[in-house]
Structure 1
Amino acid sequence: MLIDEALSLFVGHQYSQNRSEHTVIAYQTDLNQFFRFAASELNQEPEFLQVQEIDLYIVRSFLGTLSEHGLARKSMARKLAALRSFFKFLCHKEIISENPVQRVASPKLGRKLPHFLYLDQVWGLLNAPDESDLLGCRDKVILELLYGSGLRVSELVSLNRDNIDIDSGILRVMGKGQKERVVPMTHYAIQAIKTYLTRRGDQSPVLLLNYQGTRLSERSVRRILDKLVAKISLEQHVHPHMLRHSFATHLLDGGADLRSVQELLGHKKLSSTQVYTHLTRERLKEVFSQAHPRAKARNIKKKR
């Protein structure tokens, strides 16, 4: 089977599995890069490449070339994940009999801790919008939902009015893989939404609108956040997902259990949530200092 035909089948399958548009496009980009490399290795044009011609050695050579060009391990792992999914699909459909990626080891990745904001930084940011005008009221809603409910920016901009139950204080959010979850809202978020919608006074079903009256985009949210960060003179770069990181970190630091935070974030795997436990060390040290006899004895001596 020709590569183009196999890729078309694979893309259709990804959409049928409710993969996001971003994921499918990323897979296509990585796979097309690999196909061009494989065709070059086999001295033929990419459009004439057959999936049956690709073997383990071409895959390893591809990864080796990426490494020689200094590609980060995380990016290599992403490209390898695309290849795994593609050839696993072809094996399942019995288009190929052997998976050329099966014996390829994934590059070892160091765990990168998420960046977050401290409480005083969050408070400063939440108070940054000018609520005397409509757009400032909207920006207040953006911040209160990103931080107060831990939403992804994609989830935020896709919200409609009927996703919000003001009386019960909950949101129905469509997360990754078109999986819906229910998330509570803070009192501050509820008040911000009420104020914003009252000031708007229209009947649009969309929650967050731009100045033209159409749905706010993810890029616009990032620009709004950049302006608010500059307004309060925060030195570090703040992106929308950092508010989600802060949401999870502050919950765990405040004593929330890991499973509850996992459910609030909509994580499929608990390991995805465990990266946020780094700040709880300080809380554990405080508990230890207050509860352990030897630690308490040291504290008594300090008081004397």
Structure 2
Amino acid sequence: MSEDAALIDRFLEMMAAERGASRNTLLAYRADLMGAAQIMGGLAMATKAAVAELAAAWATLAASSVARKSSALRAFYAFLEEEGLRPDNPSSALPRPVTRRPLPKILSTREVDSLFAQIELRLAADHPARLDLRLSALIELLYGSGLRASELVSLPRRALAADRPFLILKGKGARERLVPISDRARAAVAAWLPHVPADSAWLFPSGKSHLSRIRLYQMVKALAAAAGIAPERVSPHVLRHAFATHLLEGGADLRALQSMLGHADIGTTQIYTHVDSRRLVELVNSRHPLATMTHRRVDGDASAP
């Protein structure tokens, strides 16, 4: 197992350096690889037959979990083969479960409006509370720019410039992207900034670091409850989904949306085209040229549309 541990370390170093894998991804890969090693009695010298036995060991797991574990092992064995550490690649024996990516949870525009109405109600006070100003800036950036929770809470204090309607983020895989910032979001951040300590490195400081993702989740769910929306339906990621879906419904280009969301693969972005199938059907029925043409019977007689 010590040999496996050393090889896993080398593999993860490669994933971090060459592919920009995040810390959470690296931790998940390590756990999956070590778990497989325990089942097979080792990874480095495992035969194809031993690898094939993983399917039975994983039989009770969800298809998505099996797919994730298989992906980790395929990448690991491909690395060993490329580095000349194994003459073969036994990963072809791994199970390939059929998985369907779940449709993202979203909110309607009316529900989003109710969230902002709740914030506006709080800001209408003669002297808005400091934490309400912070909440306003957070929600404006979440829904107005589609930021990930981790990207939002770790924004530097000077991330937004008064004369620049965008910011440059480094997201998953260390990929940089340009994110447009709405006038509303810039105004909300400008109202919040005077309450940020001058020596803070973060836009949303908390203690010795920045606001945690867990705290952000709690704040978003509390706002949802106050707005009359079931808290379990709302999270920072749901607001990111709402940003994407509502932009697409408004006519945004899929490639532009991919760039704004920071998706490496447009296939990830295309999931939003399946969210509101009823709207798409209505669009075809009302806007397609055939919608204005009359139907014809088999005998050639025209019937009413």
Shared fold per TM-score greater than 0.5: yes
After superposition, the C-alpha distances for 1:214-266 in whole angstroms (9 at most, x for unaligned) are 31111111111121112122124212111111111111111111111111111
Query: How many residues get paired?
Result: 285
Looking at structure 2, the residues matched to 61 and 159 of structure 1 have their Cα atoms a distance apart, in angstroms, of: 46
By how many angstroms is 1:62 displaced?
Answer: 1.5
CA contact (8 A) 1:164 1:172 kept: no
Q: Of 119, 139, 156, which residue of structure 2 is paired with 1:160?
A: 156
Residues 108-119 of structure 1 aligned to structure 2 (within 5 Å): 108-119=98-109
Whichever residue aligns with residue 192 of structure 2, its letter is: Y
Partner in structure 2 of residue 91 of structure 1: 81
Partner in structure 2 of residue 202 of structure 1: 198
CA contact (8 A) 2:55 2:95 kept: no
TM-aligned CA distance change 1:114 to 1:107, over 3 Å: same
By how many angstroms is 1:63 displaced?
Answer: 2.3
Whichever residue aligns with residue 202 of structure 2, its letter is: V
Structure 2: unaligned runs, 5 residues or longer: 295-305
Is the aligned partner of 1:224 residue 2:248?
no
Residues 165-180 of structure 1 aligned to structure 2 (within 5 Å): 165-180=161-176
Looking at structure 2, the residues matched to 60 and 97 of structure 1 have their Cα atoms a distance apart, in angstroms, of: 18
Residues 15-54 of structure 1 aligned to structure 2 (within 5 Å): 15-17=16-18, 18-39=20-41, 49=42, 51-52=44-45, 54=46
Is the aligned partner of 1:81 residue 2:71?
yes
Looking at structure 2, the residues matched to 88 and 292 of structure 1 have their Cα atoms a distance apart, in angstroms, of: 48
TM-score (norm 1): 0.87
After superposition, the C-alpha distances for 1:83-140 in whole angstroms (9 at most, x for unaligned) are 1111111111111111111343521112311111100111112333433111111111
CA contact (8 A) 1:134 1:200 kept: no
Q: Of 161, 183, 188, which residue of structure 2 is paired with 1:187?
A: 183
By how many angstroms is 1:38 displaced?
Answer: 1.0
Looking at structure 1, the residues matched to 254 and 4 of structure 2 have their Cα atoms a distance apart, in angstroms, of: 44
CA contact (8 A) 1:252 1:280 kept: no
Q: Show structure 1 runs of 4+ deviating over 6 A.
A: none
By how many angstroms is 1:283 displaced?
Answer: 4.5
By how many angstroms is 1:174 displaced?
Answer: 1.3
CA RMSD of aligned residues (A): 2.1
TM-aligned CA distance change 1:15 to 1:291, over 3 Å: closer
CA contact (8 A) 1:27 1:82 kept: yes
By how many angstroms is 1:213 displaced?
Answer: 6.2
Looking at structure 2, the residues matched to 4 and 285 of structure 1 have their Cα atoms a distance apart, in angstroms, of: 53
SS in 2 for 1:19: coil
